[in-house]
Amino acid sequence: MTFVTISDEFSFIKKISPKILKQTSLIKGIGDDAALIRGNSEVEEIVCMDTMVEGVHFNEKTMSPFDIGYKALAVNVSDIAAMGGLPSFYLVSIAIPKAWNERELLQIYEGMNEIANIFNMDLIGGDTVSSKAALVITVTVLGYIEKGKHLLRSNAVAGDVLFVTGTLGDSAAGLELLLKNGRHYSFTNEQQFLVSRHQKPFPRVNEGRILAKRNRVALNDVSDGIASEAAEIAEASQVAIVIEKHLLPQSDELKKFPKEKQISWMLNGGEDFELIGAVSKEEWEILKSEFEKEKRSITKIGYVESGKGEVYLKEQDTLTPLLKAGYNHFK
Amino acid sequence: MTFVTISDEFSFIKKISPKILKQTSLIKGIGDDAALIRGNSEVEEIVCMDTMVEGVHFNEKTMSPFDIGYKALAVNVSDIAAMGGLPSFYLVSIAIPKAWNERELLQIYEGMNEIANIFNMDLIGGDTVSSKAALVITVTVLGYIEKGKHLLRSNAVAGDVLFVTGTLGDSAAGLELLLKNGRHYSFTNEQQFLVSRHQKPFPRVNEGRILAKRNRVALNDVSDGIASEAAEIAEASQVAIVIEKHLLPQSDELKKFPKEKQISWMLNGGEDFELIGAVSKEEWEILKSEFEKEKRSITKIGYVESGKGEVYLKEQDTLTPLLKAGYNHFK
């Protein structure tokens, strides 16, 4: 999420958040990856909405029409994953400049189709309007989770293990390669891995489902970088989070870049769409073996202490406060 | 809905509509005012999504930031009304150019608040991103309706009475006044009525609730003009619809305009956000008295015959085929 017009996105969201809620079926409104609504006797409903803008989140150099569609849906499915849920339906609203032709537009929907087919989702509505300049695509995803099993940012407790799925920083590295060479360049296999991590992030729904079986998990998806995501968990849970630098999981492909880029991208690159969270030490042991059984990747990257929303980076026994540094795309 | 990039919006939507549906809880996907999903044992869920673009649906001359927010939510609530339902939650995604300041943005949300307060809706999520040129605002509304009571476009049957709520053409007349004079002009009371009908359409939720008590109602909201909305009902129901010109309800304020403008705006002006529909003759008599009791306006404007999706305008016993002529905003 980028926000250049107003000084502080966080304070703006606070200003527009309703002071009084009217619908008694609401479980969680603004303030997590998605909203939660009471459903039938067995499930809770999940709903989220994300927008991608041409020239801000993608451009002709970085993403094909197919990639744009794929990613616009994937980032929303990632929000459902971060609640522990399963996605079911999506709606798409697209504002289209004259420069785009019908073939390209259909490719955008084909890209969404790839994700929808994997997760058994149906396209059920939306809007198509004309745009003066840039293409703007907004997706709403509906999903569900077993009653009471949702995973909130506010669930972390002092003493917890901090973990992340997969590897970090790949998407930012891929973006650098794309901005330098353009998407039509003949990338090596190693480079292509990073580029794909930027263009076609795979939402961690299956990982979220393993996590939702545990008793208490705080969870966020990595859209803005783990420094920022950890801060959201720390603030919502009113704890302090310590990220241990030497534990951060990275791909072999990322290791080819200069050291300072690696660490910056792992902490602040964003758009990896992995899951970051916290569980008790006892649950962590169970989680580790379940992820191993399912051949999925999860890594301990730190711990939770008592506090008031702080995040620290630990390096050779030195703690440095980590400032939220969001992802600035093409700025 | 405007669509200038691709030749035929209807055929495009057909192309992107899923051929196979995967989720068994879906009652109605693409092809009506909103999607319908099985909820708990008592209700069905309704979801819809609409977008407004600066320079396409509004500009500095026609709408204040407050109006933009009000209308962006109102047009979505109108879709819920067209299913016979009640709105409950909304999500807002807004792409913001640098030219807009925080005060104006907060006014947009205050405009939405006015509608939300009337209908007891809660803002539960969304996204805020930067935009290169125009402001783009997309709203998703969730609602519900008693099980089996939803009102589809496909419900019309030969022999039905065709009706519309309120008056027609006011919004287009208001837009003409705004484009000519700008929104800061000192309008007469009569002019201000038309201007308000364009800037702040009131969604016909209460009317939809009266309609939902009847046994079989075909229903659409008037976003694109009744010629186009009637065609959607005629196509979905596979019937012919006859609109009787002399029955079209118009405000006293509209009557001040040249005759040819009146009829063009009533048929094709759009954005009146009234409800147009069809019911059996027996139900029509009950409806009339119920609308009278509730002091709400409803008018018979024609009838339904057997056919294959045609719409005719009847004038002194002559039938003229009506072509779908959508609303072109600022084109």
- The strand order across the sheet containing A136-146 reads A26-28, A35-38, A43-53, A136-146, A86-96, A122-130
Q: Which of residues 99-138 of A touch B (CB under 8 A)?
A: 100-102, 105-106, 109, 116, 120-134, 136, 138
The answer, yes or no, to whether residue A271 has pLDDT greater than 90, is: yes
pLDDT tens digits for B59-68? 999 999 999 9
d(CA B121, CA A25): 11
Asked whether B6 and A106 are in contact (CB, 8 A), the reply is no
Q: What pLDDT band is residue A7 in, cutting at 50, 70 and 90? A: low
Q: Which of residues 53-82 of B touch A (CB under 8 A)?
A: 53-57
Quick check: B48 and A123 CB within 8 A? no
Q: Which residues pair with B50 in a beta bridge?
A: B139
d(CA A153, CA A228): 12
Query: Which pLDDT value is given to residue B10?
Result: 76
Quick check: B89 and A35 CB within 8 A? yes
Closest CA to B108 of B155, B44, B64: B64
The answer, yes or no, to whether residue B56 has pLDDT greater than 90, is: yes
Q: Which SS3 state, helix, strand or coil, does residue A199 take?
A: helix
Quick check: B48 and A91 CB within 8 A? yes
The DSSP 8-state label assigned to residue A54 in this structure reads B
d(CA A173, CA B157): 60
Parallel, antiparallel, or unpaired for β B161-165 and B122-130?
Answer: unpaired
Asked whether A239 and A157 are in contact (CB, 8 A), the reply is yes
Query: Which pLDDT value is given to residue A201?
Result: 98
Six token digits for residue A91: 């709606």
Question: Helix and strand tally (H, E) in chain B?
Answer: 9, 13
Q: Helix/strand/coil (H, E, C) string of A116-136?
A: HHHCCCEEEEEEEEECCCCCE
pLDDT tens digits for B124-173? 999 999 998 899 999 999 999 999 999 999 999 999 999 999 999 999 99
Which residue do the tokens 């029955």 mark? Answer: B247
Residues A214-237 have a mean pLDDT of 96
pLDDT tens digits for B237-263? 999 999 999 999 999 999 999 999 999
Question: Helix and strand tally (H, E) in chain A?
Answer: 9, 13
The answer, yes or no, to whether residue B3 has pLDDT greater than 50, is: no
Share of chain B above pLDDT 70, in %: 95
Share of chain B above pLDDT 90, in %: 91
Query: Which pLDDT value is given to residue A9?
Result: 75
Q: How many CB atoms lie within 10 A of CB B24?
A: 6
Residues of A in contact with B138 (CB under 8 A): 49, 51, 93, 127, 138
DSSP per position, A214-263: SS--EEEE-SS-HHHHHHHHHHHHTEEEEEEGGG----TTGGGS-HHHHH
The DSSP 8-state label assigned to residue B58 in this structure reads B
The answer, yes or no, to whether residue A144 has pLDDT greater than 80, is: yes
Six token digits for residue A2: 């980028």
d(CA B279, CA B222): 17
d(CA A43, CA A24): 16
Residues B185-199 have a mean pLDDT of 98
**Cα dihedral value B75, B79, B84, B88, nearest 10:** -70
**Cα dihedral value B38, A221, A326, A127, nearest 10:** -20
Quick check: B5 and A48 CB within 8 A? no
Report chain B's mean pLDDT, rounded to a whole number: 94
The answer, yes or no, to whether residue A287 has pLDDT greater than 80, is: yes
- A53, with CB counted inside 10 A (0-12, 13-18, 19+), is buried
Q: Which of residues 141-160 of A touch B (CB under 8 A)?
A: 142
d(CA A97, CA A119): 30
Q: φ and ψ at A318, to 5 degrees? A: -105, 130
Q: Which SS3 state, helix, strand or coil, does residue A62 take?
A: coil
d(CA A75, CA A81): 10
Asked whether A208 and A219 are in contact (CB, 8 A), the reply is yes
The answer, yes or no, to whether residue A326 has pLDDT greater than 90, is: no
pLDDT tens digits for A229-264? 999 999 999 999 999 999 999 999 999 999 999 999
What distances in angstroms separate CA A257 from CA A252, A260, A263, A318, one per listed residue? 10, 8, 10, 25
Residues A106-128 have a mean pLDDT of 97
Q: Which of residues 16-35 of B touch A (CB under 8 A)?
A: 16-18, 21-23, 25-26, 29-30, 34-35
Residues of A in contact with B21 (CB under 8 A): 122
Q: What pLDDT band is residue A323 in, cutting at 50, 70 and 90? A: confident
What is the distance in angstroms between the Cα of A57 and the nearest Cα belonging to chain B?
A: 9
The answer, yes or no, to whether residue B292 has pLDDT greater than 50, is: yes
The answer, yes or no, to whether residue A277 has pLDDT greater than 80, is: yes
B282 CB-near residues (< 8 Å, 6+ apart): none
- ipTM value: 0.94
Residues of A in contact with B48 (CB under 8 A): 91, 125
Query: Which pLDDT value is given to residue B169?
Result: 98
A93 touches chain B (CB under 8 A): yes
Task: Fill in the amino acid letter for A20.
Answer: I
d(CA A102, CA A92): 16
pLDDT tens digits for A38-54? 999 999 999 999 999 99
d(CA B162, CA B222): 14
Query: Which pLDDT value is given to residue B170?
Result: 98
Helices B189-199 and B170-181, packing angle to 10 deg: 110
Q: φ and ψ at A68, to 5 degrees? A: -60, -45
d(CA B9, CA B14): 9
Interface residue of A12, A37, A114, A122 to substitute, partner B, most B CBs within 10 Å = A122
- Across the A:B interface, residue pairs with CB atoms under 8 Å apart total 243
Query: Which pLDDT value is given to residue B208?
Result: 98
- A170, with CB counted inside 10 A (0-12, 13-18, 19+), is buried
pLDDT tens digits for A51-102? 999 999 999 999 999 999 999 999 999 999 999 999 999 999 999 999 999 9
Residues of B in contact with A18 (CB under 8 A): 116, 122-123
Residues A128-154 have a mean pLDDT of 95
